Amino acid sequence: MHQPQAERLMAVDCCEHVIAALSRILPSSHITSVASSNHAGITKHKSPHLITIGVTQYPVRRLFISQLRRIYPDVPMLILRREADNPGLDTACIRGEFLLSDSGHNGDYKLVKALRPFLPLTPCEHMHKDHNYDIVREVISVIAEKYSNPKLNLTHVARAVPISPPHLSRILNQEVGVSFRQLLRHTRIEEAKRMLISRLYSVKEVAARVGFSDSHYFSRSFKELTGLSASEYQSHTAISS
């Protein structure tokens, strides 16, 4: 069963196994395969009708989905993840979760309906977590706990893991494709968004509460990651609610 010729699918960090499954729904010529590290590749194409995000080797998905959602705010996503078939057994499958925008997108439900019969997918060699997966997960956990400390840096987090700062920097930059600074800034901005929505604090208070000692840097960072200034974001969410 093929969808109309106009429909396009972007497969992000998807292995050959997943691409082959997607090709049963859409012609392979309509599937654009890109890596999450290739920002230019993600943004240079026409808006897809569906974005599929493959099984990740590292627990940094929240950061990447947030970036994708800013670029394609209305495009539905199919997020693939590992899941054990049965508790206690060492077998797994690839399950999918659909993330739809509240504003809707042409063909949303038709694509979901077409893909569901092919899920879950059988395991493949690309499902195995990288040996540094647990280190990255611990790093994210430490950042989530201590992000409000304006003095938090790579050395402090490396000491808490524990691992040497150069080794941690190498894992994040070379293997995960994201810097410590990006992880920390993203965490702080996500927390800032929640605080701004509550409207309990001013923009300056929010900046301080999430660990920015420089409110101007906070404002620049917020605009870069969300596309809106902090005050615009707060006003927009107030109107929406």
Structure tokens at 116: 């569901």
Place of tokens 């195995």: 128
Kindly report the pTM of this predicted structure.
0.67
Report the pLDDT value the prediction gives residue 202, as an integer from 0 to 100: 93
Superfamily of domain 133-240: Homeodomain-like (1.10.10.60)
**Other CB atoms closer than 10 Å to residue 62's CB: what's the count?**
12
Report the pLDDT value the prediction gives residue 31, as an integer from 0 to 100: 87
Taking a C-beta distance cutoff of 8 angstroms, is the pair 12, 54 a contact? Answer: yes
Angle at which helices 180-198 and 61-71 pack, to 10 degrees?
70
Q: What is the pLDDT of residues 211-234, one digit of tens each?
A: 999 999 999 999 988 888 999 988
Locate the domains of the chain by residue range: 9-127, 133-240
> How far is Cα 46 from Cα 67, in angstroms, rounded to an integer?
17
Report the pLDDT value the prediction gives residue 48, as an integer from 0 to 100: 84
For the domain spanning 9-127, the CATH number is 3.40.50
Spell out, as residue ranges, where the chain has pLDDT lower than 50. Answer: 1-5, 89, 239-241
Place of tokens 């309509």: 30
Beta pairing partners, 33 = 11
